[in-house]
Amino acid sequence: MPETGKDLETKVEEEVVKIKAEVEEAESVEEVKESGPIIPTVKPPISFPSLPKQVEVPDDPEKRADLILEIYEHILLAMSLGAAKIMGVAPARGLTKRFLPFDKCEKLLENVDLKSNATIDFAQIKENIRGIPIEKREKIFIHDFNLIIEVITENYGKVMGYDAFKGMVRPEFMKIKKSYGEAIDKLGIKGEMHPEIVQLLS
């Protein structure tokens, strides 16, 4: 029998519990003693970079594709930051990695992993796109990245609820909208994007 929405939700919740248990076990191993009390190691938080004030959409196909890639990199960074705020960096990293649709975005996600701060390794993605013809990049980027965002958003919604997740990422998305909002509209990026993410950019 096919899985129902309830079955999938239960499976996702079980994954979260499992990941959190693995993280707690890993953290207990990393604990160090300093003059008596046990002090856990603290990993640096994810930081959101400053964004350009004005963004023009270029006519050159390669530069347009580079701009699209830049926009999606910041969107996915904001999503990783929001997930880490809610559940911690390590659980967010493990959960996001399990959600990535490697089988449906083979060109973009080949050998792609998540960094220790729970962000997607865009350096590897930029290596992967070298094999994609320039004239096809814009279409592939918009389709595949929106699929990645849809899968991650759906699963984040099941785990933490859409309202909680959107509340955590709203400050970063306001910056993205202010910087890239006009370009996002001109490039047609929102046309295939998950409605919960579209709300944050509208």
pLDDT given at position 8: 47
Does 77 score more than 90 pLDDT?
Answer: yes
- 160-192: per-residue pLDDT in tens? 888 888 888 899 999 999 999 999 999 999 988
User: What are the residue ranges spanned by the domains of the chain?
Assistant: 44-201
Check pLDDT > 50 for residue 17: yes
Q: How far apart are CA 22 and CA 131, in angstroms?
A: 36
Instruction: Specify the pLDDT at position 178.
Output: 94
Predicted confidence band at 34 (pLDDT cuts at 50, 70, 90)? very low
Contacts of 91 (CB under 8 A, 6+ apart): 16, 19, 20, 23
pTM of the model: 0.78
The predicted structure's pLDDT at residue 21:
58
Question: Which residues are CB-neighbours of 130 under 8 A, at least 6 positions away?
Answer: none
Bridge partners, 33 (sequence order): 38
User: pLDDT class for 142, splitting at 50, 70, 90?
Assistant: very high
Q: What is the pLDDT of residue 9?
A: 53
**Residue 30 confidence (pLDDT) above 80:** no
